[in-house]
Structure 1
């Protein structure tokens, strides 16, 4: 069986992680610093993402902003920086996230990881601030359950006004200083030879650390005003996350990264030589959803200054109590729902022949295709056209990721399908078994496969066989122990006070 995805890219990802470990063991990469900023973790993360993208034809398109949109961004940024920032109050917890982590709820954007934490008891004890990056998102966002909201893109808009002239020279100086670090030449030779990375690509990633350095200065000024005790972020390994974590740690603020997807990748896995005090762009604490995810991090953090806590998935815990009622109603309906959570890949990759044949032949199943937040209108139309041409459009229901809560949709499902999405973890927490359609998923979720919470579609079986195997097995709720994410957050704030 083949989904049309390039399996060589999946193998290369794990080979890259092994190579990173060899470099960390044999060379002084972990000591690389510029102006106090650790460079190697940034470089490794960027390269890891580059490798992960190879062979995966994405539907996403990078579109340059038109002049009027750039002008609106500048106007908004100045207003946000000069007016909103001035009125920010000191806070207990600063949350850093983006619109991609939000769903529509109660007729407004709702951060599905952060806002479930803000129960009435917690909001009475803590003052909270939502720091949202991305100017469009911050412009339309409602502060919701948070005490205050600030769009961090305004920091960069304001800072860049004074850096246009000197930025290029400063970046070149940064690059020249980097080349003087120990073992750079030999490490770059190996990266170019074994991972097929060009010298220009490597330079680009080194200069991204310069960008992070500049952003950290702006976050540092913001944190001096906010005085948070704890910074909780999603996607710490993006430029904003790395900059914010670095700035917060320099001020003694406890930093936490909350899991938002699978952790078996070059960012979270298999770091070999971490400095005794930890990397200063890595959070103090990694908040994980479950024991499997926690173990993946504990394997390398155990002897470092970084710690791991199992705090649960706030969004899943929020909906967990509905699991039994929804499952019972679905069973009584006599129809088994198959939920397919897709990713921004090409339509042909997502809907391969065996899947199409299965949808066409299984009248006993209701097929729900859950769109990824980054699926654009053009591809949605393309999906409809493709499924119509295959004669199965009337058998499929499309579900928006922004309008329908994932835990609720999973709870009403008998089977979950995905290529390698982190929804496999969330499904396992709710007791829904997953069929992994790609070998990358089999490697990323090997623990779930061993625990029989996930099955793998390969040449030795068929999709129909796997569906029947799951449907014939009684549903048993997995990871049924209760976790209170809100209490975990309160404990972290107390830890920061200690």
Structure 2
């Protein structure tokens, strides 16, 4: 992953835009578009990737695949979709909570794929019959509580196909409130952001809102049948289907919740420093945020307190608490170090780190990111080439629960993985070795549970060994915490 600059600089750039323009008033067909635009800009500045190019390529591929054969099949496909939709909605039952999640949130446990955030609270409080798991992307066959799994992508595909039967494809251009948006686009040019490439021009926003609005009736029908008290997301942004689900729930007055699934620090622009928010919050954002720990809660509370409806709640990290309670005790191997990696691990695997591993008296567990982009062969080749293969153990994030791995280790090392928070909860000290990690977790630095060491420093190897020994000796014991009930009233306060 190539980073444009330090995250603090990205935050300053975005906040400068937010201060200059009436972003909290920008509406297209009644939908607040600033959270959508802001997050697109944030992700672009983080990665310097023109993400729309992939979407454009996919669109072209779809067009090439269409032809006479598809036109012949279309009536049969529409009929099949109509039957599928009828059967699907007829089987929906009343549920108290709808949990939206993906296969990337699951891990193998006792032979089943267990959602490490949701299923911990479901099992602990006996909610198996009170929930639906709205599963998008890949569906595993052997999941925990399979009767609760809804194949969201599959059923939405039928619905999207049936949209072809309707004639309301006109893109309505009224009800657009984008004061000074043209000036905003010009301002983006000054910081080398192409609004057309990012698809955030007025024209693209109108199309995006039309797409989201076309999906809302599906969720309206689903919510009317299921009658949920709460709709919960593991990350509320990034997918149009989820935006439609979120906006519709907000319109219907259903409690919408973002369940923390990673770091929500003071540089993560999807969660922090919202300077201009409508009194009742944005309808493209959840109304409640369930946080793992106090720093995360305070970070969101710093802006949500200025609204009437947005709440920040200390919920805990249920899977850590679930695993600690289930395992009853921690078995620590003093000769293991846990290294949590980013999506492109080789980009950040420096020679300084190689030297540390090679000269270390510990064996290192190298855990792949759930969205890892590097092949196992490529990574193994790198380790062997640098003579650290025998000092390392590569771990698949889906096959081994994170708490189990942490319990085996005495030290955690990372560039800027959110595992910092989970390691801290389990009493495992962390050494941050990247500037971005320093920025992200500055509020956690205490040189007891979390410390930072610059890899460019002279004698980095010696300093690392000394710091590691010091942190391991002074590590604090782990304490089991009760798993919160998502149906408690406090979860919305």
TM-score bin, normalised by smaller chain: 0.7 to 0.9
The answer to whether the Cα contact below 8 Å between 1:132 and 1:150 also exists between their aligned partners in 2 is yes
Q: CA deviation at 1:254?
A: 0.8
1:270 pairs with one of 267, 270, 273: 273
Distance 1:62 1:318, change over 3 A: farther
Counterparts of 1:214 and 1:441 in 2: how far apart (Å)? 40
Q: CA deviation at 1:161?
A: 1.7
1:47 pairs with one of 36, 41, 65: 41
Counterparts of 1:361 and 1:56 in 2: how far apart (Å)? 40
Residue of structure 2 in register with 1:442 after alignment: 438
Q: Which runs of 5+ in 1 are unaligned?
A: none
The answer to whether the Cα contact below 8 Å between 1:84 and 1:150 also exists between their aligned partners in 2 is no
Counterparts of 2:418 and 2:254 in 1: how far apart (Å)? 29
Q: State the secondary structure of the residue aligned to 1:96.
A: strand
Please give the per-residue CA displacement for 1:49-101, whole angstroms capped at 9, x wherever unaligned.
111212899xx999969979x99xx8997786443332111111111111110
Is 1:372 paired with 2:369?
yes
The answer to whether the Cα contact below 8 Å between 2:448 and 2:474 also exists between their aligned partners in 1 is no
Residue of structure 2 in register with 1:131 after alignment: 134
Structure 2 counterparts to residues 353-372 of structure 1, below 5 A? 353-362=351-360, 364-372=361-369
The answer to whether the Cα contact below 8 Å between 2:50 and 2:198 also exists between their aligned partners in 1 is no
Q: State the secondary structure of the residue aligned to 1:144.
A: coil
Q: State the secondary structure of the residue aligned to 1:119.
A: helix
Distance 1:253 1:142, change over 3 A: farther
1:289 pairs with one of 289, 292, 298: 292
Is 1:234 paired with 2:234?
yes
Structure 2 counterparts to residues 95-174 of structure 1, below 5 A? 95-119=99-123, 121-123=125-127, 127-134=130-137, 137-138=138-139, 140-142=140-142, 144-145=144-145, 148-163=148-163, 170=170, 173=171
Q: CA deviation at 1:493?
A: 8.7
The answer to whether the Cα contact below 8 Å between 2:336 and 2:408 also exists between their aligned partners in 1 is yes
Q: State the secondary structure of the residue aligned to 1:381.
A: helix
Distance 1:311 1:95, change over 3 A: same
Counterparts of 1:406 and 1:77 in 2: how far apart (Å)? 40
Q: CA deviation at 1:20?
A: 3.0
Residue of structure 2 in register with 1:383 after alignment: 379
Q: State the secondary structure of the residue aligned to 2:445.
A: helix
TM-score (norm 2): 0.85
Q: CA deviation at 1:418?
A: 1.4
The answer to whether the Cα contact below 8 Å between 1:192 and 1:199 also exists between their aligned partners in 2 is no
Q: State the secondary structure of the residue aligned to 1:118.
A: helix
The answer to whether the Cα contact below 8 Å between 2:321 and 2:480 also exists between their aligned partners in 1 is no
Q: CA deviation at 1:179?
A: 7.3
Residue of structure 1 in register with 2:18 after alignment: 24
Distance 1:318 1:153, change over 3 A: same
Please give the per-residue CA displacement for 1:406-443, whole angstroms capped at 9, x wherever unaligned.
01111221111111111111111111111222211110
Q: Which runs of 5+ in 2 are unaligned?
A: none
The answer to whether the Cα contact below 8 Å between 2:37 and 2:200 also exists between their aligned partners in 1 is no
Counterparts of 2:167 and 2:355 in 1: how far apart (Å)? 56
CA RMSD of superposed structures (Å): 3.3
Residue of structure 1 in register with 2:251 after alignment: 250
Is 1:199 paired with 2:196?
yes
Counterparts of 1:229 and 1:97 in 2: how far apart (Å)? 17
1:410 pairs with one of 397, 406, 415: 406
The answer to whether the Cα contact below 8 Å between 2:29 and 2:175 also exists between their aligned partners in 1 is no
Q: State the secondary structure of the residue aligned to 2:365.
A: strand
Counterparts of 1:359 and 1:117 in 2: how far apart (Å)? 38
Q: State the secondary structure of the residue aligned to 1:280.
A: coil
Distance 1:141 1:18, change over 3 A: farther
Counterparts of 2:397 and 2:261 in 1: how far apart (Å)? 15
Distance 1:312 1:495, change over 3 A: closer
The answer to whether the Cα contact below 8 Å between 1:457 and 1:463 also exists between their aligned partners in 2 is no
Q: State the secondary structure of the residue aligned to 1:256.
A: strand
Counterparts of 1:293 and 1:494 in 2: how far apart (Å)? 15
Is 1:421 paired with 2:422?
no
